[in-house]
Amino acid sequence: MTPVTPALTRFAMAAESAARGRVMASDGVAIARIGAGFADWAELLDLIRTSFAPMQGIVDPPSSAFALDVEALREKARTEMAHIATMDGQLVGCIFCREENNALYVGKLAISPTRQGNGIGTRLLALAEDVARERNLPALELQTRIELTGNHAFFRSRGFVKSGEGAHAGYERPTWIWMRKALPARQ
């Protein structure tokens, strides 16, 4: 677990104060949209890389998470809806979403390895569902690597179903699957 540092505390406070809305649960996890005041991109990049590290050597081709740098991450947050989860001043999760093909595409869902299994990913996905409904989008979609069967099971347990598969450029075999979760209309 990353120790609380003044920079990380400043990072969490800047993100939360710049957020359009902040959701705090009884477990002490705060979820906030990354806003203009967000500055600690290196901490966020480290979270993503640390979260995706266990798949190194398993997925082929390597994850795009390791091609990200601070500038690319900053641009991703500028063009997508990016949210962070913090707990006790520490960054513990993030999710990036964008409208695509009449759905909300979920990308770069990352949870600190020391906090996985505590419901943070589920909470971030619930936030994505709320965003999709606010935008009148009927579904969430995501891609997950073909080799990551644990991820497939996680998303299936949250209502996603396999809706297709594809291959990265230069590969003749499937390298990823599409998963989709239809969202019931608000009543």
- For residue 187, being part of any structural domain is answered with no
- For residue 84, being part of any structural domain is answered with yes
**Angle 38-42-44 (CA atoms, 0-180°, nearest 5)?**
65
- For residue 1, being part of any structural domain is answered with no
- For residue 166, being part of any structural domain is answered with yes
- For residue 116, being part of any structural domain is answered with yes
Which range is least confidently modeled, 4-13, 97-106, 118-127, 153-162? 4-13
- For residue 65, being part of any structural domain is answered with yes
- Single out the residue of 36, 128, 24 nearest to residue 85, CA to CA: 24
Residue 109 has pLDDT above 80, yes or no: yes
State the average pLDDT over residues 149-159: 95
| Counted domains in the chain | 1
- For residue 123, being part of any structural domain is answered with yes
Amino acid at 121: G
- For residue 157, being part of any structural domain is answered with yes
Cross-strand partners of 78: none
| Structural domain for 74, as ranges | 6-182
Q: What is the pLDDT of residue 35?
A: 87
Summarised one tens digit per residue, pLDDT across range 46-73 is 999 999 999 888 998 888 888 889 999 9
Q: Report the mean per-residue pLDDT for the chain.
A: 86
Summarised one tens digit per residue, pLDDT across range 11-60 is 444 444 434 444 555 578 999 999 888 988 999 999 999 999 998 889 98
CATH (domain of 68): 3.40.630.30
Q: What is the pLDDT of residue 3?
A: 37
Q: What is the pLDDT of residue 1?
A: 36
- Single out the residue of 167, 180, 156, 48 nearest to residue 105, CA to CA: 180
Instruction: Record the pTM.
Output: 0.83
